[in-house]
Chains A and B, each alone.
Chain A
Amino acid sequence: MKLYQETIYSLHDKLKAGEITSRQITESVLERIDAVDEKVRAFITRMDELALQMADDADKRFRKGEFLGFLDGIPVALKDIFLTEGIPTTCGSRILENFVAPYDGTAVSQLKNEGAVFIHKVNMDEFAMGSSAENSGFFPTHNPWDLDRVPGGSSGGSAAAVAAGEAIFALGTDTGGSIRQPASHCGVVGIKPTYGRVSRYGVIAFASSLDQVGPITKDVMDGAILLKAISGRDPADSTSADIPVPDYPSLLTGDVKGMKAGLPAEYFEEGLDPEVEEIVRKAVSDLEKRGMEIVPVSLPSTKYAVATYYIIAPAEASSNLARYDGVRFGVRYPDAKGLTEMYMKTRSQGFGPEVQRRIMLGTFALSAGYYDAYYGKAQRVRTIIRREFDEAFTKADVILSPTAPTPAFPIGEKVDDPLQMYLTDICTIPVNIAGVAAISVPSGLTNSGLPVGLHVISPPFTEDLLLNVAYAYEQERGVFPQCPL
């Protein structure tokens, strides 16, 4: 096994034992990038020099017997939505092509404090709007399992980088499935923590009431390690929760005996790929084998979730993206004759078509005379969806479903059909709407060798429970194959 193929904890053990150095890991990852990224195209900005410097700094600490944490000396891929001081942050958009952030976001600071090595800033759908990474303002990223297919999105670069060994772990964001869906498509673990678990400060906002930062890792233990590192109350984010952060890694026992898992019929309806269904049902029975009781639960408003999401998220986005006006930072259209023209040309040229589509959708949904019919109604449906989850969680400890209704689709297939693209997030969107926690764990390969993820959902601030169920499943499933690239 090559170093780039290993997990955080296995590398940490070897670093601690003095068997390897952070420089060796980092070089292994950089060489891997040299070898495969031409095909995968995961990163937007590569930081070799910084990475090696950070690795050497970590090695210096190790020689003195100091470890800042589990992540010390381990290379990470940062979705290009995280602000990093002195390093370009594009959010996958032409409008921020020249933007260098003057400060580190909270999650980035936490990784720095833990000694993680910053390798690159990776590709994404522009402003996290998309489910395939094809909406990147720069280039699409390819799925390492099948280079003709999408890696999923919007955190497509993060999932592809971890799957391809271009990073040991990655940080992503999830507004409607942007961590879990690409994790599912790329055969890696993706966690969408409870809204408020991880600070959003220094993360470029898409839809503020839905956005959440989370880990993309090779297995559940790595996910637990990373989640512990980034969770907790942040005074700079008023919506972050003041709830203690459990020591997730030490709570992974794999013991789920007597726990109840709910299966919502609404997540197994038409549109679900039969192979995906088969793999997920097999995963459910694996958990049954570990002593979990499977019970039916009902989430009847699931069918309204996507529509609700496509009101709330674009509405918030239309406001969040107003600051990209060419006045203070980012790209400005140079030859405008007046203010209005400068705004219009800057934004028409700087934003891609999907971003423009959502800004228009959101602007319309908030307009005078339409607010109640759209935004107001969506908020009421949101409350109903949340209540249905509360109700379901009185019957089951966790809820199981597929992460995505299909495996990764071919590049170009849905680009011109936004509705089809939106429906790929049908299983993940309700989780953001309800603000609960969820994880995608690789659970099998289709006949053509594409990964499929099991989606586990748990009540707010029960990530310990969520991770333990996922861990139990992983134990039962056994080793997941490496991607063939």
Chain B
Amino acid sequence: MKYEPVIGLEVHAQLKTNSKIFCGCSTEFGKDPNVNTCPVCLGLPGVLPVLNRKVVEYTIMMGLATHCRIAQESIFARKNYFYPDLPKGYQISQYEEPLCADGWVEIRSNGSSKRIGITRIHMEEDAGKLVHEGAFDASKASFVDLNRACVPLIEIVSEPDLRSAKDASEYMQTLRDILVYLDICDGNMEEGSLRCDANVSVMPRGSDTFGTRAEIKNMNSFRFLQQAIEYEIDRQIDILESGGEVVQETRLFDSDKGVTSSMRGKEEAHDYRYFPEPDLVPLRIDQEWVEELSVKLPELRDARIDRYVTDMGLPEYDAEVLTSDRPVADFFEAVVNKGTKPKSASNWVMGEFIRIVKEKGMDSARITPEQLARIISLVEEATISGSAAKKVFEDVFATGKDPDGVVKEKGLAQVSDEDAIRAEVKKILKNHPDEVAQFRGGREKVLGFFVGQVMKATKGKANPKVVNKILRELLAE
């Protein structure tokens, strides 16, 4: 390709605090409209904001996890514009002196790792939302719901270090992992708790002058993010190839059509008239607090992947699957801590556990790590068969009952008593002289038939290993 894309992302993450950023209202999702409001987040006359300490704490954590410098003093600013979902007519944000700046994260790009610069991370309040009566363009009325107004957000601005749509998606995934591992954002793009805008431009390969950029909005999944950027890169290259010029503008991604289209040009760009928020004093951060938080910072996904591979000897694939969701990874580690071999624990968690979690959700899991460890050791001790173990697992997952109790209750214990199995085998060989002859004639495959017959006769409870051993023994006679 003759051209090189240059991409920077502005990512908004909704923080998982119990109360809003500047008032005590709940941030709970899904309430009736305007239930989670008070004079402050309604923007009534005379109200003043009071900063939520937890928001600062979470932002510092994100700053530390992305190697940012934490400003000893930062200030809030007002971003002024009119819209009915913005009650005060301005959004309290940070502008000139953000809380975190000059950081980086590492992403995988073309098989190696690449450092992406973080310009800044700042705190701000979310706006409310409008609900239109009927279709948007024929709507008779719009209703304002301010439950979301004043919910805390952080905006994470990257350097223009990304060079492909894949890079952008990887970077977004990396940020999501960090946010989720820090437990400060639920990372859900579809529900809007993680949002992103992309600045995209293209330049001739090898150039050091960036092209004119377009800002792309409305990409609410990882897939759409990649699709939109790919589309935009192609669009800009086409313009340049045909001798045209890319115009600076804001473009909206239409996920149905898979295209971006112009939303507003440079001339219509808002003049936000930022100025320091006079209702809040400068935010001074105590260095001790930052150190305290940095000590308490949880292990992030990349570090876990390393540890699973290096210390536990797991394949990289396992490590990635296990860590893709922090609660799953935590569960896995707890199983290992109960004495289960990492690979056995990994097989179970990656297999049955994730399968049922995907079906029913993590919240429905009643099983404890100790119980899964017990199920695994029941298999390893040959007390139950692998297929019986799956039944036990499913039951314990849903009920949280004791695995040994479930085995007993359902009569799933294996028979490993050689004499009993020998008697069964003898009976079956006697009843199938033709098949015995076939086996002895060299058709090894018939062994499977005999195993099946024994299992059938023992209602699946015979230990397959023992069955195999005795079959071979007797057939060899």
Task: List A residues at the B interface (Cβ < 8 Å).
Answer: 83, 89, 91, 96, 99, 101-103, 105, 200-205, 207-209, 235-239, 315-316, 318-319, 321-325, 327-329, 339, 343, 363, 366-368, 371, 375
Contacts and interface: CB of A to CB of B under 8 A. Distances in A.
B271 A96 contact: no
A327 B144 contact: yes
A363 B273 contact: yes
Contacts of B89: 319, 321-323, 325
Given A238-B51, A319-B80, A201 B46 contact: yes
A171 to B, nearest CB: 14
B275 A236 contact: no
Interface in B49-83: 49-51, 78, 80, 82
Given A319-B89, A323-B44, 15 more contacts: A89-B45, A101-B45, A236-B48, A237-B48, A239-B278, A239-B281, A315-B275, A318-B80, A322-B80, A323-B43, A327-B84, A329-B44, A343-B82, A366-B274, A367-B271
B380 interface: no
B88 interface: yes
B275 A375 contact: yes
B51 A328 contact: no
A207 B264 CA distance: 33
B46 A322 contact: no
A202 B275 contact: no
Given A89-B45, A91-B45, A328-B144, A366 B50 contact: no
Nearest to A209: B278
15 contacts: A83-B45, A236-B50, A316-B278, A318-B80, A319-B273, A319-B275, A322-B89, A322-B90, A323-B43, A328-B44, A328-B87, A329-B45, A339-B84, A366-B275, A367-B273
B474 interface: no
A383 to B, nearest CB: 13
A375 B278 CA distance: 13
Interface of B: 39, 42-51, 78, 80, 82, 84, 87-90, 144, 271, 273-275, 278-281
A316 B275 CA distance: 9
B90 A102 contact: no
A102 B39 contact: yes
Contacts of A103: 39, 44
Contact of B46 (A83, A235, A239): A83
A205 B43 CA distance: 12
Contacts of B82: 322, 325, 343
Contacts of B90: 319, 322
Contacts of A323: 43-45, 87-89
A102 B51 CA distance: 22
Contacts of A239: 48, 278-281
B138 to A, nearest CB: 13
Nearest to B80: A319
Contact of B50 (A105, A200, A238, A329): A238
A91 B47 CA distance: 14
Contacts of A101: 44-46
Nearest to B279: A208
B46 A105 contact: yes
A328 B42 contact: yes
A368 B271 contact: yes
A197 to B, nearest CB: 15
B87 A99 contact: no
B275 A205 contact: no
A238 B39 contact: no
B42 A319 contact: no
Nearest to B38: A103
A-B pairs with lowest CB-CB distance, top 4:
A322-B89, A208-B278, A366-B273, A209-B278
Contacts of B48: 200-201, 236-239
A421 B108 CA distance: 66
Contacts of B279: 205, 208, 238-239
A141 B281 CA distance: 37
A368 B80 CA distance: 12
A363 B78 CA distance: 13
A322 B50 contact: no
Contacts of A99: 45
Nearest to A199: B48
A329 B80 CA distance: 19
A66 B46 CA distance: 32
Nearest to A368: B271
A236 B22 CA distance: 10
Contact of B45 (A204, A237, A327, A343): A204
A327 B34 CA distance: 14
